[in-house]
Amino acid sequence: MTADAPITQDFLTVPRKMPEGKRNLVGLPRAAFRAALIEAGTPEKQAKMREAQLWQWIYQRGVRDFAAMTNLSKAYRAQLAEDFVIEIPEIVSKQVSADGTRKYLMRIAGGHEVETVYIPEEGRGTLCISSQVGCTLTCSFCHTGTQKLVRNLTAAEIVGQVMAARDDLDDWPKPGEGMGERPRLVSNIVLMGMGEPLYNFENVRDAMKIAMDGEGISLSRRRITLSTSGVVPEIARCAEEIGCLMAVSFHATTDEVRDKLVPINRKWNIATLLEALRAYPRLSNSERITFEYVMLKGVNDSDADARRLLKLIAGIPAKINLIPFNEWPGAPYERSDWSRIEAFADIIYKAGYAAPIRTPRGEDIMAACGQLKSATERAGKRRAEIEAEAGIATP
């Protein structure tokens, strides 16, 4: 990261320089990667080829040890090991739900921990990754929102969650096996774990570019979905610089209610948000925007809400993802009744939109949406702080 990089909230990110002065190759954008090789003595003429070879070892084969990179000369392998490391977050614990969902606790530099969730589905598998330790925002229904922002993740830590999960799932091609010979277990990525990805823009972008690169993790941009609470100025930038699919935590149909649920709405309200979303499909050449809508009993789940929602999103290619509220200890809301969720879905569906109800996955291990919070991070926002922000009266 350079000093003159645009300011988002990356200032909390630790520098990429590793202990003993070795640099981590993971997470470096292509130009920086090549520059690092040249700086460490790789002849300029060879740098492009070496870069391609290394990317394939690191991101397509999952190799972490330079000594195993057999198409490089022994001397060059030794030279690389002098200057570089290939380092990703370490899985410190894993919980497997009755439904097959896996929740990983991953340790990153500084002793911090983040959660990553793998959700196996018929014919595909989605990895839900984190972009920050904690979150600066205070959405009143979200467990992560009760945890202070500790720091932004580096690009290495973001793409590294994908690599660590692939290690655990044994999802790398075997030696001698071609790319794409076996179906991939991690076939989709969603940035829906801890944190607000658009408040860590550069690192999320660099990591996702590696995830989409043909010599990187090689996932199509249509298999990557970034979820934002509505950081409006970064939405167009996301279309232009990342180009993945966009999901938005919409959750309410009036500014009055959205101000309480998603307090960033006070900065960028529904009208401003919708304007940015309207431009997104054209800018990113992508299809539908996913509107996430958490179903909270008696708060945002009426028929009138469903109809208002339809009016608001008219003209935007959209899919509406209804999320039954996932409870967490001390949460100030309840999940809408199932019949209410179905009635809401029905109104949306009859208007011609896909309105899938997201089946809660991994609830038994607290791995469902919005339940993530690293228990080891004691720094918490005070309850009163959150309630005051959200304008919820404490009984």
In the complex, least distance from residue 248 CB atom to ligand SAH, rounded to whole angstroms: 7
**Between vectors from CA 268 to CA 264 and to CA 269, what angle results, nearest 5°?**
100
Residue whose beta carbon is closest to ligand SAH: 370
Rounded to the nearest angstrom, the gap between the alpha carbon of residue 224 and the centroid of all alpha carbons in its chain is 9
Identify what 326 binds: ligand SAH, ligand SF4, none; CB under 5 to 8 Å per kind.
ligand SAH
Judged by beta carbon distances under 5 to 8 A according to partner kind, the member of ligand SF4, ligand SAH, none in contact with residue 216 is: none
Catalytic annotation present for 115: yes
Mark 242-261 with x for binding to ligand SF4 (rule: CB under 6 A) and - for no binding. Answer: -------x------------
In degrees, rounded to 5, the angle at the alpha carbon of residue 10 between the alpha carbons of residues 7 and 16 is 125
Name the residue nearer to ligand SAH (CB basis): 50 or 151: 151
Catalytic residue among 87, 234, 369, 389: 369
Using the minimum distance from each CB to ligand SF4, give the nearer residue, 53 or 272. 272
Alpha helices (H) in the chain, listed in sequence order: 30-39, 44-55, 74-83, 155-169, 201-212, 232-241, 255-261, 270-284, 303-313, 338-350, 383-390
Side-chain-facing half-sphere of 52: CA atoms under 13 Å: 4
Is 128 considered catalytic here? no
* Interface residue with ligand SF4, options 144, 265, 290, 326 (CB under 6 A): 144
CB-wise, 346 or 385, nearer to ligand SF4?
Answer: 385
Are 81 and 66 contacting, i.e. CB atoms less than 8 angstroms apart?
A: yes
Nearer to ligand SAH, 160 or 370 (CB): 370
Q: Between 54 and 142, whose beta carbon lies closer to ligand SF4?
A: 142
Assign 3-state DSSP to the chain and report helix, strand, coil percentages, each to 5.
40, 20, 40
Q: What binding mask, one character per residue, do residues 187-216 give for ligand SF4 by CB under 6 A, x or -?
A: --------xx--------------------
Q: Does residue 321 interact with ligand SF4 by CB under 6 A? A: no
| CA dist., res. 36 & res. 33, Å (int) | 5
- Least distance from C-beta 128 to ligand SAH, angstroms? 8
Q: Which of the listed partners (ligand SAH, ligand SF4, none) does 116 bind, with a CB threshold of 5 to 8 Å by partner kind?
A: none
**Residue 238 marked in a binding site:** no
Phi and psi (nearest 5°) for 49? Answer: -70, -45
N- to C-terminal Cα separation, the chain: 46
Give min distance, CB of 320 to ligand SF4, in A: 17
* C-beta of 182 vs 383, nearer to ligand SF4: 383
The owner of tokens 């030696």 is 175
CB 131 within 8 A of CB 194: yes
Q: From the CB of 249, what's the least distance to ligand SF4, in Å?
A: 6
Question: SS3 of 138, please?
Answer: coil
Task: State in angstroms the smallest separation of the CB of 288 from ligand SAH.
Answer: 16
Q: Residues 105, 133: contact at Cβ < 8 Å?
A: no
Q: How far is CA 167 from CA 67, 111, 150, 162, in A?
A: 19, 21, 26, 9
Q: Judged by CB, which is closer to ligand SAH: 195, or 362?
A: 195
Residues in contact with ligand SAH by the rule CB under 6 A: 139, 141-142, 192, 195-196, 227-229, 249, 292, 294, 323, 325-326, 369-370
C-alpha distance from residue 194 to each of 93, 130, 136, 347 (Å): 17, 5, 11, 31
Residue listed under structure tokens 């692939």: 166
377 in a labelled binding site: no
135 contributes a contact to ligand SF4 by CB under 6 A: yes
113, 115, 292, 389: the active-site residue: 115
**Residue among 229, 284, 321, 326 that touches ligand SF4 (CB under 6 A):** 229
Q: Which of ligand SAH, ligand SF4, none interacts with 294 (beta carbon under 5 to 8 A by kind)? A: ligand SAH
Structure tokens at 123: 């014919």
What are the two backbone dihedrals, phi and then psi, of residue 290, each rounded to the nearest 5 degrees? -95, 125
Q: Which residues are catalytic?
A: 115, 369
Binding site listing for S-adenosyl-L-methionine: 195-196, 227, 249-251, 326
Annotation: binding site: 135, 139, 142, 195-196, 227, 249-251, 326
Binding residues for [4Fe-4S] cluster: 135, 139, 142
